[in-house]
Each structure stands twice: as structure tokens, then as C-alpha cells.
Structure 1
Amino acid sequence: MQKMITLLALLFLATGSLTACGSDSDNTPSDDTDAGDLTDTGDQTDGGDQTDGGDDTDADGSGQPVNAEDVASIVATEVALYGTISNTVAEYDCLCNFAELGYEDADTCLADNTLEEGPLDAFTTCATDAATDLIAPAGGLDTYVACDAAATDAFVTCLEAIDTTTCSEENDTALDACSTTFNTSFETCSADEGFTWYNETFAVAVDEAGCYDALFPATAE
């Protein structure tokens, strides 16, 4: 549930959520070391299992490459998360809570916690390339992609309606309402097998390709 947790966390602490997201993705590749050990086991069966190793990619039974349009949609929601959504929340948090976030002024806070188009464009290119040869889940991604896009778009629209240049209890409540609305919508998405594919296949491939490094250089190894 990494994506949903990250999105919701953005509404409470922009700085912490950005760091946490990078850390979560950094933990993913450790599982791939174990996957490499499986390859060694396959070598003990005289190479015949090397073909089976290829079949592991198709373990879901589909054997079909992921649709380019589905990849584009998923990448777009990632960019919305780290760009529009994160930047909007950071703008409000830095203006209203910069001292609590450990900054002397709002401008310094914003400089540290907002992303410009350059890193987002680099992430888009990298993530798209990393996902090009992935195998789609057996049930396809249509349902998840539609749900993910609708929930994310609604979240963006909700945040855009808030005047983030004004600190008020009304705006605090509005931000909470956006969170609640998204939470309700994305619960449906997270129940789809496409969400498992997103977490266990897409996010892993994107992380291994180093795509998150452009967004979180401080966490890059």
C-alpha cells in the first residue's frame, strides 16, 4: 500500500513524506538479491531450468507485455503524486508550518520540498523505459489504471480548489476532506490485482532503474 500511504502522508508532513517514500523504494531492491539466489539454484539443474527462469517472468500466466498506454497512465499518476500533489501540499505546509518543519522561513522550506519540471521529466522518461518490457498481470491493467487515474485526478482537483496561500482552519479542514475523498476512492483501486502489479513489479523495476534518484537525490546510493 506504499502509494496510498504516501499520498495520505503528504497531507500531514510534506518533508517527512518525501523522505519516507524514497526510503520505502530503497528497501525494495533487497528482495531482488534473493531473486538472484534463485537463479543460482536453477543453474544446479544443468541449465534446463534457464528456460523455466524465463517463464518466471510470465508467472502470472499472461505472457503479454504491458500496454504502453497503461504505463503512460501509471507514470502520469506518479508524476502527479510527486509533482502537483506534493508541491501543493508543500506550499501550504511551508507557508503555515515552516517552523514546525525545522525551517527559518517559508522560502527555504519550499526550495527543499518542491520539485521542478526537470526532475519530473527525467523521472517520466526513466520510468517509462523501465516499464517497457514488463509483463502485464493475467487480468490486465484496465480496471486498475482507470481507478488510479480517476482517484488521482479527483485528488488534484480537490487540492487545486484550496487557496494554499492562506493559512486557516477552513483550509486545514479542506485538506483533510481531500484526503478522506481520496482514501475512499483508492481503497477500491488497492483491491485490484493491478495494484499488486504496481507495487511488486512496476515500482520495483522503476526503483532498480534508479528513476527515483532524480526525485530524491539525497537518498540515492
Structure 2
Amino acid sequence: MQKIAVLDYGMGNLHSVASALQKVASGDEVVLASEPAQAEGADRLLVPGVGAIRDCMAGFTDAGFAPLLKDAIDSGLPVLGICVGMQIMMRHSEENNGVDCLGIFPEPVKFFGNDLMEKEPVGARGSRLKVPHMGWNQVWQKQDHPLWNGIGDGSRFYFVHSFYVPAENNPDLAGQSEYGVSLAAAVARSNIFATQFHPEKSADNGLQLLKNFTGWDGKA
């Protein structure tokens, strides 16, 4: 039995993530860790997140999770980030008038609105794309990664976000989607995999990705 720690820093409904993990790995221990000590001895870490980036960064750092995450990455522990859990790993976000993030990845987090408002109306009825981007969207796999095992290229996943990581010139791009702009649906490097979409809300494809995570050794 392995221990999977879901980091609880006060942002988002973590129970849906924990329930999905328990469904795909019923023999494992899934722990909602609200402090680093509760994640001690974990075999893998999951960093979720829903909400504004300033509050997420404050909650994450105040809980003492930044050193925990760094140590996990340095030691080769498999790490999965979801939604804002992916964005806090970036260099900087435009949200809340600009917030410095953890800088694990060098890419920025940009606001959808300004880019989409400059474009011509799109869609079946000629309407502009709405922000936040909310709903199902195709993801095109850009890395041959173990977390894509059993998931077809172009499969759909569920997104809810107003800010995005650009796909263009992104050396860590693992999955790409289109929503007026080309966005990073997933990024990956060594023992880190992070998604902008919500696997726990993405039906069979999302459960397969979580199952892949529970068996991943942290190597690409």
C-alpha cells in the first residue's frame, strides 16, 4: 500500500479529488494533508487548487508546503498538479494585478480576456468565446508520457479557468488545447506532471490519468 498526499491549503473542494483517487487506487491510503507533517512518508504528492492565485499562493506558503514540494521534486517523488495547482508552479501570473508564483516552471500565466476580445467572433452562432473557459475541450498530447497511457490523443477533458499558460515556445508542453489561443493543457518535466484541466471531473479519461499517476515512477 502506498500513501498519496493531497495538499490541502484551503483552496477548492478536495474531496472530489480524493474520492477519484480512492476509486482508481482503492488499496492505497489517500490523505488530505493540511500541514507538511501529515504528508510525511508520502509516496506521491497531488497539488490541487481552485480560486484566485494570490489567495492560493498565500495559503500554500503559509501552510509550509513550498519547501515540502521542493523537497519532493528534488527527491524524485511523483508530483501531480491540477488547475491552479499547475499555475502556482509557474513563474508569474497576471491575475490579481500580478503575482509571483513558485517558479518551478519558467512560463507565465496570462489572462484570456484581452486576447479573446481582440479576435473576430467565433463559434457556431458567431459569438465571441466566453471567459472563463468552462467545459469540455480536446487535449492534444505533445509528449509521449506515462500519464497519457490508455488515453487517446485528442480526448476531451473538463476545464474551468480564466487564466492560462501559453503553449507557444513552451519547452515543458505535454498537452495542448485551443480556446481562442493555444494553451498548455498539461506540462511535464522529470517527476512533475501538471494539468490545467480537472481529471477528477473528466469522466473515464480523467480517471485513467489519475490511475496512471498512482502507478507512475516519476520518470518520463
TM-score by length of 2: 0.28
More strand per residue:
2
TM-score by length of 1: 0.28
Higher relative contact order (CA 8 A, sep 6+): 1
More helix per residue:
1
Structure number with greater Rg is 1
